[in-house]
Amino acid sequence: MASLNVIREASCAEGFCSLGCIAWLYRKIRGSFFLIVGSHTCQYFMQSALSVMIFSEPRFATAIIEESDLAAKTADFAHLELDRIVGDIVREYNPTIVFLVGTCPAEIIKVDLQNIGEMLTQKYGRPVMFAPVSGLEHTFTQGEDGVLQALLTISPEEAPGTARELLLVGAVGDLVEDEILEQLAELGIPVRGVLPARDPRRLPAIGPNTVAVALQPYLSMTMNALKRRGVEVLACRTPIGPAATRQFYEAICRAFGKEPPDRLVELEAEAWERIGPEREMLIGKRIAIIGDNLLELPIANLLYEMGAEIVELSTPYFNRKAMAADVACLPDGLTLYEKPDVIAQAERVIALKPDLTICGLGLANPFESRGLPTKWSIEFTFTPIHGFKHAKDLAEIIARPVRRGNLMAQRGWYVDQSAPRVPA
Ligand code: SF4
């Protein structure tokens, strides 16, 4: 295990609200509808961050808690209002599942969405599930953790005598999911299913003969909930990048009593070969990662494996146990800031002058204006990057701004402004 120096600064998490996870989950879970029980702020966030056009018929909406509702503040009131809205949704969209999405305002005034969901499930004959996705504590990818926990509460129990099978946990694009399933079939691994299932009416059964593995590093609450149901949870690297993907499949093979085949080493070598030019470009590059999506550790590992050096690393949330396999591959003595003080961090990064800074949208322009090439971290969330086949997409995301930075520096387009602070 690498010795990671973790500094917890307990500052505000600088990133999107966890409601952002609805952007990929409403597409992934077919027939679902996400009803956000929140404020005008939540609604504005969803409209502006997701930029979804009304004609694309997004399957999410916001039930807005007004000030007058706060005054009423009774369980009956919330129940009646949500009953009316869910009734409209059922008539108009006929969803297979409705998520009552808890937000900061709903949490603060203690709307009992759990209880209301149970009553509406009975009334409308389909699951109406409470999903705690408030932005109070969590970063945007962790919203998925809340939704998956809600799904777990309705996933059936394993029948006695069920064979030992693998459960993949985490939403990835359908294409990536199919590729992973194909690879597991080639390796002869019996697969129970995927959480979230594309069809929420066919959730995988859960029990002591389930062996779960996370596809994303931000699902610690779901993995703990699985453990409580007797599931064996594998500690594997997140399958992002050629080496991590090989190790991910090797760990699964071993868990199922199989010797990992040499083919995995070949697939890793082929993936490295495909990204040879990007790897060459990144050798010796100094990279800062200002985290906001919890993919920071897998990305840092990949960058090291590509020959780059991490000069600054932070994450909004660090769970040493859940991230142990990714931590183990980091170089010794690396410092990780958890919830860093953003101003102090920006000053460090400006002084360090890295060749590339991976950061959220809000910091990218101030860094660019100081001659520091950046990459929006959100691209790692919305691009297929898992598995052997997507190593090229992943490497390109990282290499493109370095290439652009080199070109701009050659042409003298960057102006080195050594102003000490990033504007608020
Ligand atoms: S859930 Fe909280 S953080 Fe997210 S948009 Fe609503 S009020 Fe803001």
pLDDT (tens digit, 9 = 90+) per residue, 232-267? 999 999 999 999 999 999 999 999 999 999 999 999
Structure tokens at 34: 């996400």
* b (16+ CB within 10 A) / e for 226-257: beeeebbbbbbbbbbbbbbbbbbbbbbbebbe
The pLDDT value given to residue 72: 57
**Amino acid at residue number 392:** K
CA of 47 to the centre of ligand 1 (A): 13
Reported as a pLDDT band with limits 50, 70 and 90, residue 390 is very high
Structure tokens at 216: 């994303």
CATH topology of domain 18-138: Rossmann fold (3.40.50)
Instruction: Specify the residue with its C-alpha closest to ligand 1, atom 6.
Output: 42
CATH 3.40.50.300 holds for 267-410: no
Q: Cβ distance 371 to 357 under 8 Å?
A: no
CA of 105 to the centre of ligand 1 (A): 8
Reported as a pLDDT band with limits 50, 70 and 90, residue 107 is confident
pLDDT at 420 over 60: no
Instruction: Specify the residue with its C-alpha closest to ligand 1, atom 1.
Output: 103
* Residues near 59 by beta carbon (within 8 Å), at least 6 away in sequence: 26, 32, 33, 34, 93, 95
Q: Cβ distance 216 to 141 under 8 Å?
A: yes
412-to-45, 49, 137, 353, 415 alpha-carbon distances in Å: 38, 34, 43, 16, 7
Instruction: Specify the residue with its C-alpha closest to ligand 1, atom 3.
Output: 135
Which atom of ligand 1 is nearest to 18's Cα?
4
The pLDDT value given to residue 21: 92
The pLDDT value given to residue 127: 97
pLDDT at 19 over 60: yes
CA of 10 to the centre of ligand 1 (A): 19
Mind giving me the DSSP string for 66-105? Answer: -HHHHHH--HHHHHHHHHHHHHHHHHHH--SEEEEEE-HH
Helix 296-305, helix 391-410: angle, nearest 10: 70
pLDDT (tens digit, 9 = 90+) per residue, 175-229? 999 999 999 999 999 999 999 999 999 999 999 999 999 999 999 999 999 999 9
- State the Cα–Cα distance between residues 45 and 57, nearest whole angstrom: 17
- State the Cα–Cα distance between residues 152 and 232, nearest whole angstrom: 15
Mind giving me the DSSP string for 259-309? Answer: PPPHHHHHHHHHHHHHTHHHHHHHTT-EEEEE-SSS-HHHHHHHHHHTT-E
357 CA to centre of own chain: 20
- State the Cα–Cα distance between residues 380 and 394, nearest whole angstrom: 8
Q: Cβ distance 332 to 273 under 8 Å?
A: no
- State the Cα–Cα distance between residues 130 and 133, nearest whole angstrom: 9
Domain layout of the chain by residue ranges: 18-138, 165-258, 267-410
Residue with tokens 């779901």: 222
Instruction: Specify the residue with its C-alpha closest to ligand 1, atom 5.
Output: 42
The pLDDT value given to residue 140: 87
CA of 214 to the centre of ligand 1 (A): 27
The shares of helix, strand and coil residues in the chain, as percent rounded to the nearest 5, are 45, 15, 35
Which atom of ligand 1 is nearest to 104's Cα?
2
3-state secondary structure of 237: coil
Q: Cβ distance 129 to 151 under 8 Å?
A: yes
3-state secondary structure of 403: helix
Which atom of ligand 1 is nearest to 19's Cα?
4
**CATH code that applies to domain 165-258:** 3.40.50.1980
Torsion on CA atoms 333, 334, 335, 337, rounded to nearest 10: -140
To the question of pTM greater than 0.85 for the whole model, the response is yes
Pocket of ligand 1 (CB under 6 A): 17, 19, 38-39, 41-42, 45, 103-105, 134-135
Which atom of ligand 1 is nearest to 133's Cα?
1
CA of 108 to the centre of ligand 1 (A): 11
pLDDT (tens digit, 9 = 90+) per residue, 291-301? 999 999 999 99
CA of 97 to the centre of ligand 1 (A): 23
Complete edge-to-edge strand list for the sheet that includes strand 309-315: 5-8, 335-338, 309-315, 286-290, 356-359, 374-376
CA of 79 to the centre of ligand 1 (A): 21
- State the Cα–Cα distance between residues 196 and 22, nearest whole angstrom: 13
The pLDDT value given to residue 424: 45
Residue with tokens 């990662």: 289
CA of 278 to the centre of ligand 1 (A): 38
**Closest among 355, 312, 309 to 337, alpha carbons compared:** 312
